[in-house]
A and B are shown apart, each in its own frame.
Chain A
Amino acid sequence: MTTRLTLLLLATPIVAALCVPFYNRVTPTLDGWPFFYWWQTGCVLAGALLTGAAYLLDARAVRKAGARSQEGAA
């Protein structure tokens, strides 16, 4: 049940992790971490949240589809 929104949610962290020219810099720093390091570490968290959202969307779509097919059978 892959919808366009799920695809977008899943593609975002991949793009964020691959846009090297954007994050290959020192500033702004965060608690002494150069941008290069904290941005990518932040992307791990964001990626987890977005993949989690994709999972929830997906699970809801599957439940709905399941309910519909049961109605159809009844």
Chain B
Amino acid sequence: MNVMSIGIFVALFALVSTLGMAAARWRRGDLSAIHEWGLAGRRFGTVMSWFLIGGDLYTAYTFVAVPALVFAAGATGFFAVPYTIITFPLGFLVLPRLWRVARQHGHVTVADYIEHRFVSRPLALAIALTGLLATMPYIALQLVGIQVTLGALGFPTHGWLGELPLFVAFGVLAVYTWSSGLRAPAMIAVVKDLLIYATIIGALIVIPTRLGGFGHMFAALPPAKLLLKAPDATSLNGYSSYATLALGSALALLLYPHSMTATLSTSSDCVIRRNMALLPAYSLLLAFVALLGVMALAAGVGAMPEYADQFRQYGPNFAVFALFLHYFPSWFVGVAFAAIGIGALVPAAIMSIAAANLFTRNVWRPYFAPHCSAARETRVAKRVSLFVKFGALGFVLFVPVQFTIQLQLLGGVWITQTLPAVVLGLFVPAMRARSLMAGWIAGLGTGTWMIAGNGFKTATYTIHVGALAMPVYAAVIALLVNFVVVLASSLLFVKPQEEGVEGDLQNR
């Protein structure tokens, strides 16, 4: 335990908590309307959206798990970089169009759009439930991120007293989300992102020099881990898994309810397009974050006796923390750990708001209270957001971390299966709910079956074509199955006179 680090950590935490409460006053709106509480009145301009979306997509778990993966597996872990390269051009094509339709019809969630576009409540319910299931373990992982951070600061993380700091962090999160809605994570994201940039730039200036330059640093990677395993006569090895992991994760990222919520809260489709060109600043940061894994290897933190206990407890996830503890003075450690801790609060808040919006608009209202008032709807959403966070806390306290990680893995595969409904719905007039539903069922089934076949351990599934083995990200195979089913059932069942009815599809 270091008083300096903890002091700075607590001070920064207090600062963002105050900011979160005060956010309710920022561009004040009627917070009893769901689009004000849950989308901040769709008022975010280019700069605010940049902080919000960046703070949302690059979660604390990213900052911990990406270097951990590089630390443990080498080049494979770098897939996070092509993944974010792919995300933004795709977002540029799809998201502005979605925003326009959603704005025109007042949709708050993606499932709102699905229900309106396909006039199908069951399909909207399917999309909403997929989003909810994929989001829950994701929120839990954010809390796991906070937990590791607290452990690294020296707080005990076992026993009743040990969970206390986590409860405090959780309580703060719950209160400001309740009172300020999406405005709170937006304001906090500004602080979070600045802290993260400062931390990573600091690490990049100091650590490689101490390690004797980048050449020395990379030399520390064992040759087998420096590059991907090249294909041989029997298998495509690292190539197919790397490319499909990057592609599949990029597709999943855009479809997660929290990215949709951040997208819909922007003030115009132009803001979205501009941000797709500006957000890669975070991807650059992510590349450097991944390098922290290489630095941790080169520094040999895994073999240092002072961190042995924590490595035993947290595994490779502790690599980045050990690196900072080893190289930096205690005040900088406080800043860096606060960046990661606050980095968990922003996405956790947005995710819980997104889940609350989905549940309220697409599960509760249509089936239980079809004529409820706007104010009641918002009250329910606030309660649900609280409930979702309790659920995540329960996950962290009572479920082994490994299980949460597996659920999150499965969540990524599931959320990808909503792609045909969302994207084809925007671009292909002839799409019908029943085909999309059939595809969704097929995709979800295939994906879950493949992951289960792996014993829920890894997301890549090996398919055999003749004598050649191809390890591929399960989400991508499931998506292909999904598309084939959608296409086949569209060709078989859509009558020609049904085509071309959707006015929303016109280009601008």
Contact = CB atoms under 8 A, between A and B. Distances in A.
Contact of A37 (B78, B273, B274, B277): B78
A44 B508 contact: no
B230 interface: yes
B281 A34 contact: no
A44 B226 contact: no
B228 A34 contact: no
Nearest to A33: B214
B107 to A, nearest CB: 22
B444 to A, nearest CB: 25
A21 B238 CA distance: 10
A2 B93 CA distance: 8
Main secondary structure of the interface of B (DSSP, over half): helix
Interface residues of B, number: 42
Given A21-B239, A26-B226, A45-B284, A31 B214 contact: yes
Contacts, number: 121
A29 B276 contact: no
A16 B204 CA distance: 26
Interface stretch (B82-90, B160-168, B432-440): B82-90
Given A24-B239, A51-B89, A58 B273 contact: yes
B216 interface: yes
Given A26-B227, A36-B227, A41-B81, A54 B90 contact: no
A14 B85 contact: yes
Interface residues of A, number: 37
B283 interface: yes
Given A44-B283, A65-B508, A32 B82 contact: no
Nearest to A56: B277
B215 interface: yes
Interface string B198-231: 0000000000000001111110000000111010
A57 B239 CA distance: 34
B242 A48 contact: no
A48 B277 contact: yes
A34 to B, nearest CB: 6
A31 B216 CA distance: 11
A29 B243 contact: no
Interface string A41-68: 1011101101110110011001001000
A17 B75 CA distance: 14
Contacts of A55: 92, 273-274, 276-277
A44 B81 contact: yes
A26 B224 CA distance: 12
A18 B247 contact: yes
A36 B213 CA distance: 17
Given A26-B227, A40-B287, A51-B276, A18 B86 contact: yes
Given A20-B242, A47-B280, A54-B277, A10 B89 contact: yes
Contacts of A41: 81, 284, 287
A11 interface: yes
Given A14-B90, A44-B85, A52 B239 contact: no
A51 B88 contact: yes
6 contacts: A2-B93, A26-B227, A37-B78, A40-B85, A48-B284, A54-B89
Task: List the 6 closest A-B pairs by CB distance, nearest first.
Answer: A32-B215, A32-B214, A48-B280, A17-B82, A52-B277, A10-B89
